[in-house]
Chains A and B, each alone.
Chain A
Amino acid sequence: MTLTETQRSSSRRAAVRPPRPLLLTGAVTAAVSVIPLVYLVVRVSEAGLARIVEVLWRQRTLETVATSVSLVIIVVIGCLIIAIPTAWLIARSAIPLRALWLVLVSLPLAIPSYVAAYAWLALFPGMSGFWAAALILTLVSTPYVVLPVTAAFRSADPALEDVARSLGRGPVRAFATTTLPQAWPAAAGGSLLVALYVLSDFGAVALMRVDAFTRVIYASYRASFDRVSAAVLALVLVGLAALLVFAERRMRGRTRRWRVATGTQRTSVPTVLTRAQIAIALIWLGGLAVLALGVPLYSLLSQMIEGARSQVDLAEIAVAAATSLGVSLAGAILAVLLALPVGIMAARYRSRSVRAIETFAYTGHALPAVVVGLSLVFLTLSVVPVAYQTVFVLAFAYAVLFLPKAIGATRSATAAVPPVLEQTARTLGRGPLRAWLETTFRLTLPGIAAGGLLVLLTAMKELPATLMLRPTGLDTLATELWSRTEVAAYGAAAPYAIALVALAAIPAWLLGRAMTRDVDTVVE
Chain B
Amino acid sequence: MSSVEVRELTAGYGGAPVLEDLDLTVPSGSLAAVLGPSGSGKTTLLRILAGFLRPSVGTITFGDRLMAGAGPGHPHAFVPPEKRRLGIVPQEGALFPHLDVTANVGFGLPRDLRGRSERIDTVLEMVGMREYAHARPHDLSGGQQQRVALARALAPEPELVLLDEPFTALDAGLRERLRAEVRELLVELGTTAILITHDQEEALSTADLVAVMRDGQIVQTGTPAEIYGTPADLGVARFVGDVVELRGHMRGDVVTCPLGDVVVQPGSAAGDGEVVVVLRPEQLRASPADQDSATGVVREASYYGHDSMLRVELPDGSVIPVRIPGGERAPRPGDAVTVSVNGYGRTFPADSR
Interface residues of A (CB under 8 A from B): 3-4, 6-8, 10-11, 13-14, 16-17, 418, 420-421, 423-432, 435, 438-439, 442-443
Contacts and interface: CB of A to CB of B under 8 A. Distances in A.
Task: Please name the 7 residue pairs, one residue from A and one from B, whose CB atoms are nearest each other, closest first.
Answer: A428-B108, A426-B81, A420-B94, A420-B90, A427-B88, A429-B82, A3-B38
Interface centre among A14, A424, A431, A442, by most chain B C-beta atoms within 10 angstroms, is: A424
Contacts of A427: 50-51, 81-82, 84, 86-88, 108, 153
Secondary structure class of chain B's binding surface, majority of residues: loop
Interface string B40-68: 00011001001111000000000000000
B169 A14 contact: no
Secondary structure class of chain A's binding surface, majority of residues: helix
13 contacts: A4-B91, A4-B168, A7-B38, A7-B43, A10-B43, A11-B47, A421-B94, A423-B52, A426-B50, A426-B51, A428-B152, A429-B83, A429-B108
B39 A6 contact: yes
B38 A429 contact: no
B52 A429 contact: no
B53 A14 contact: yes
Given A7-B38, A7-B91, A420-B90, A426 B82 contact: yes
B13 interface: yes
A439 B80 contact: no
A442 B98 contact: yes
A428 B91 contact: no
Contacts of B38: 3, 6-7
Contact of A423 (B50, B83, B107): B50
B96 interface: yes
A428 B107 contact: yes
Interface centre among A6, A429, A430, by most chain B C-beta atoms within 10 angstroms, is: A429
A424 to B, nearest CB: 6
Contacts, number: 81
Contacts of A439: 96
Nearest to B50: A427
Contacts of A13: 13
Interface centre among A10, A13, A428, by most chain B C-beta atoms within 10 angstroms, is: A428
A3 B50 contact: no
B346 interface: no
Nearest to B107: A428
Nearest to A417: B97
A415 to B, nearest CB: 15
A443 B97 contact: yes
Given A428-B108, A443-B97, A423 B168 contact: no
B317 interface: no
Contacts of B87: 427-428
Given A14-B53, A426-B51, 17 more contacts: A3-B198, A7-B43, A7-B91, A11-B47, A16-B14, A17-B14, A423-B81, A426-B50, A426-B52, A426-B82, A427-B84, A427-B88, A428-B82, A428-B107, A429-B83, A429-B108, A443-B98
Interface in B87-105: 87-88, 90-91, 94, 96-98
Interface residues of B, number: 34
Contacts of A430: 82
B82 A4 contact: no
A101 to B, nearest CB: 36
Contacts of A442: 98
Interface string B161-193: 000010011000000000000000000000000
Nearest to A432: B80
B90 A428 contact: no
A4 B47 contact: no
Contacts of B321: none
B170 to A, nearest CB: 12
Contacts of A423: 50, 52, 81, 88, 90
Nearest to B94: A420
B94 A435 contact: no
A426 B80 contact: yes
Contacts of B143: none
Nearest to A442: B98
B123 to A, nearest CB: 13
B281 interface: no
B56 to A, nearest CB: 13
Contacts of A418: 94
A432 to B, nearest CB: 8
B156 interface: yes
Nearest to A435: B82
A132 B80 CA distance: 65
A207 B153 CA distance: 65
B194 to A, nearest CB: 13
Contacts of A428: 82, 87, 107-108, 152, 156
Contacts of A16: 13-14
A431 B198 contact: no
Contacts of B13: 13-14, 16
B82 A7 contact: no
A429 B156 contact: yes
A16 B15 CA distance: 11
A430 B52 CA distance: 13
B167 to A, nearest CB: 12
B348 to A, nearest CB: 27
A289 to B, nearest CB: 41
Nearest to B53: A14
Contacts of B96: 421, 424-425, 439
A156 B39 CA distance: 36
A258 to B, nearest CB: 30
Nearest to A6: B38
A443 B84 CA distance: 26
